[in-house]
Amino acid sequence: MRGFLAGLLVASWGLSAQAGGVALILGNQSYEAFEDAEGAAQVLDTVTAFEEMGFLVISGADLSADEMRAQLAGSFEQAQREETERFVIVLGGLFATSHGGSWLMGSDSSDAGLALADGQGLRLELVAEIAGLASESAVIWLAPGRTDQLFGPWLRAGLPENLDLPHSIPVLRGPVDDVVQGLRASLRPGTTLASIARANRALTGEGALPEDMAFLPEGFTPGARADLRAWAIAQEEDSEAGYQAYLDAFPNGQNAQAARSALEAIRNAPDRIEAALFLTRDERRAIQRDLSVLGFDTRGIDGIFGPGTRGAIAGWQSLRELEETSYLDRDQIFALAADAAERAAEIEAEERARREAQEREDREFWALTGAAGDEPGLRSYLERYPEGIFAGLARERLEQVELARQAEERNRDLAAWRRARALDTLAAYEQYLADWPDGEFVENARDRIAQREPVPVPGVATPPESVPSDAQTPAVARARAAEAALGLAQPTRVLIERRLARLGLDPGPVDGVFDDQTRIAIRQAQARFDLVPTGYVDQDFLTMMVSNLFREFFN
């Protein structure tokens, strides 16, 4: 049925004045009630050959008797309408015959026998009659299948030895392979049907087979219909293969120039040109890097040309005043690489100039700050250039400064401790703790203080008014705490000792260490100034000793 509908669709086109003719080609290979007619469908392989020679072809496969009669009617109508010169009928499949006629059996036929043969098959006598009415140059080709079928009473398989058909109509029959070969030979201009039958002994020719009349005359060319049909197919496919197939068949056809133009457009399409380069993943990454160097965003360098890369390519093409196709050819890839190399050199030069300028600034700032080697200058340099040219040197020098400071601090701490140990008095150890609260010998000083009680200075008479009745009274403890809270530095202590000496009092060695003798002198001075004689320095006593009040009092 599909073949039947296709045949009717083709028939609806109509013929041109230059058409080769009308061809009805039916091949029944598959049968519902009988074994298949092997190879019968091969007759349909000649459809394209007939179309290329300008024939209007109506074809069908595995048709019922009704469908075959409809195809015959359709082909006859076309031949009558166009008054065609040639009418070809090709039938392949299972044939049945009786004393009164022969039939090509339909695909749905059964073994009902002669009584129903006209309903189940296409009568050859009818075919011959219609062919004769359609054209004076009609020809029938028959390709019978198996000959051992049983079609029912009064019917035998195959064709009779002699067909009872009009002698004016040539009939050629034989195995399907030979029929197909003969059909193709008949389409070569200048070839006669008689020569075809004579050349192939497997073919049997009947009816009128003139020796001097070719089926297609010398110089015969296909009509416009085959050209138009092939062009329509090429346009529908719209591919290189489709247009090339048209040109192969019709190199000088009506649409040859249009086919060549379409073919050139396809072959020169930007996407096709780029695809023909077969770019590797690494090559695509290189292109993306070049675009990125030039400032175009490819949305990643992954070797995949997505919308980002296509947009970047179009942007570069616009900059270059090229057609913005977003696809690259070989010349454009080279031009892009050259642009990127030039820009990369510019970027490198800019970066080099920036580094040189930064290095000059670095060296100039070092000369103003860290080169002198002092701590403030070194720190100022590192604050501005933490990774600068001289950063390592600056850190080394700061480390040396810090080590020197720590060594000096430790030496002073050690000297203070030695003085305390040399005096070995409660006051000396308390003085050490006041001067060096975080010193190395703090614990030692505290241990010594805990082990000692106030000891009067040997051989020195302590005035009654300056010696407390109990050296460990709460008042003395508070005085000691008040002095510690002042945090007297050693220079201040030395100044106090000197001022005590100027008052005519004996503070002991003027070394900044308040020993027992110094305490006595402090008590004596406090009594002289009408202060509470505790032996410890408070704010009032300190103010008196270091301010102008002392000079006024002394004068």
Does the residue 90 lie in any domain? yes
Q: Which residues pair with 407 in a beta bridge?
A: none
Strands, E, within 28-161: which ranges?
55-61, 86-93, 95-97, 102-105, 121-123, 137-144, 156-157
Confidence of residue 364 (pLDDT cuts 50, 70, 90): very high
For residues 22-38, average pLDDT? 93
pLDDT tops 50 at residue 419: yes
Q: pLDDT at position 7, please? A: 38
Residues whose CB is less than 8 angstroms from the CB of residue 505 and which lie 6 or more positions away in sequence, other chains included: 521, 524, 525
Tokens of 180: 């197909």
The answer on 276 and 263 residing in a single domain is no
- CATH (domain of 88): 3.40.50.1460
Domain with 229 in it: 224-268
Q: What average pLDDT does the segment 127-142 reach? A: 91
pLDDT tens sequence across 197-253: 999 999 999 988 888 888 898 878 765 566 777 889 999 999 989 999 988 888 888
Q: Over 90: is that where the pLDDT of 543 sits?
A: no
Same domain, 41 and 151: yes
Q: What does the alpha-carbon distance between residue 510 and residue 80 come to, in Å, rounded to a whole number?
A: 149
**Same domain? 19 vs 135:** yes
279 shares a domain with 235:
no
> Residue 371 — very low, low, confident or very high, per pLDDT cuts 50/70/90?
confident
Domain end among 281, 315, 346: 346
Q: Are residues 299 and 336 in the same domain?
A: yes
Which helix (H) or strand (E) segment holds residue 420: the answer is: helix 391-423
> Residue 213 domain-assigned?
no
Q: Are residues 228 and 189 in the same domain?
A: no
Q: Does residue 415 fall inside a structural domain?
A: no
Chosen domain end from 346, 374, 402: 346
- 57 by DSSP, 3-state: which? strand
Start-end of H helices in 85-223: 117-120, 124-134, 176-186, 193-199
Residues 6+ apart with CB under 8 A from 254: 224, 227, 228, 231
In a domain? residue 423: no
Of 191-195, 351-355, 458-462, the poorest mean pLDDT is in: 458-462
Which is nearest to 398 in space by CA: 372, 379, 422? 379
pLDDT bin (cut points 50, 70, 90) of residue 385 is very high
Are 14 and 26 part of one and the same domain?
Answer: yes
Tell me, yes or no, whether 520 lies in a domain: yes
Tell me whether residue 122 is in a domain.
yes
Question: 123: which strand partners?
Answer: 103
Residue 455 confidence (pLDDT) above 50: no
Top pLDDT among 456 and 254 is at 254
> For residue 528, how many other CB atoms are within 10 A of its CB?
14
Q: Is pLDDT of 547 > 80?
A: no
Query: Within a 10 A sphere around the Cβ of 444, how many other Cβ atoms?
Result: 15
**Residue 183 and residue 312 in one domain:** no
Does residue 27 sit in the same domain as residue 82? yes
Q: What is the pLDDT of residues 307-325, one digit of tens each?
A: 999 999 999 999 999 999 9
- DSSP 8-state assignment for residue 19: -
Give the mean pLDDT of 134-151.
Answer: 89
Which of 495, 487, 509 minimizes the C-alpha distance to 544? 495
Residue 222: the pLDDT is 63
Same domain, 197 and 284: no
Mean local confidence (pLDDT), 52-79? 93
Predicted local confidence at residue 96, as pLDDT = 95
Residue 77 has pLDDT above 60, yes or no: yes
pLDDT score of 294 more than 90 = yes
Domain end marker among 346, 371, 401: 346
Question: What value does the mean pLDDT take over residues 386-411?
Answer: 91
- Tell whether 420 is covered by a domain: no
Residue 35 CA to residue 31 CA, distance in Å, equals 6
Residue 1 pLDDT class (50, 70, 90 cuts): very low
pLDDT above 70 for 459: no
Same domain, 52 and 173: yes
pLDDT for residue 475? 77
Please state which of the ranges 211-225, 255-269, 528-542 shows the lowest mean pLDDT.
Answer: 211-225
**Mean pLDDT, residues 15-20:** 47
* Residues 118 and 27 both lie in one domain: yes
In a domain, 433, yes or no: no
Strand partners, 20: none
More confident of the two residues 439 and 252: 439
pLDDT at site 296: 95
Closest CA to 114 of 149, 160, 155, 147: 155
Q: Is the pLDDT of residue 6 over 50?
A: no
**257-266 long-range Cβ contacts below 8 angstroms, 24+ apart:** 258/231, 259/231, 259/234, 262/234, 262/238, 266/239, 266/240
Q: How many folded domains does the chain comprise?
A: 4
